[in-house]
Amino acid sequence: MPLRVRYHECDGQGIVFNAHYLAYVDMCAFEAEKALFGSHDEFLAHRTDVVVAEANLKFRAPARYDDQLVVSQFLTHLGTTSLVFDFEIRRGETTIAVATVRYVFIDPATLRPEAPPDAVRKVYATLLGD
């Protein structure tokens, strides 16, 4: 997912404020969900949802106003009730930050962990390859 750093995302030091990197990751995850299922509503129509259970972010280089970044997402684990994505935020050939986020599938009515329907699991399983 390409994005351009906006002025208001930068702190007094002139670099992207740390919390925005997780927002970038979240934006990428949402775009991936849309690509896989058509829309968030179509994903929810499967009677499942996901919540963030854990997030880890490592900073490698600063991003600054007007930088053109690319956020990439890679599925690394598909469990019974959870999935783990690695994210990479790059400016050209420079890795700005990497993140790992663990999501838990939930029943939207109860907000309790629950295995996703087979149709959802199959879509995500295709991202793992062999």
Which helix (DSSP H) or strand (DSSP E) does residue 87 occupy? strand 82-91
Arithmetic mean of pLDDT over the chain: 96
pLDDT-above-70 percentage for the chain = 99
- Closest Cα partner for 46 from 117, 130, 122? 117
Question: Rounded distance, CA 95 to CA 5, Å?
Answer: 15
Q: Is the whole model's pTM more than 0.75, yes or no?
A: yes
pLDDT of residue 129: 72
Residue 122 CB coordination number (10 Å):
10
Question: Rounded distance, CA 123 to CA 125, Å?
Answer: 6
pLDDT of residue 52: 97
Looking at domain 2-128, its CATH architecture is Roll (3.10)
Give domain limits for the chain.
2-128
pLDDT-above-90 percentage for the chain = 98
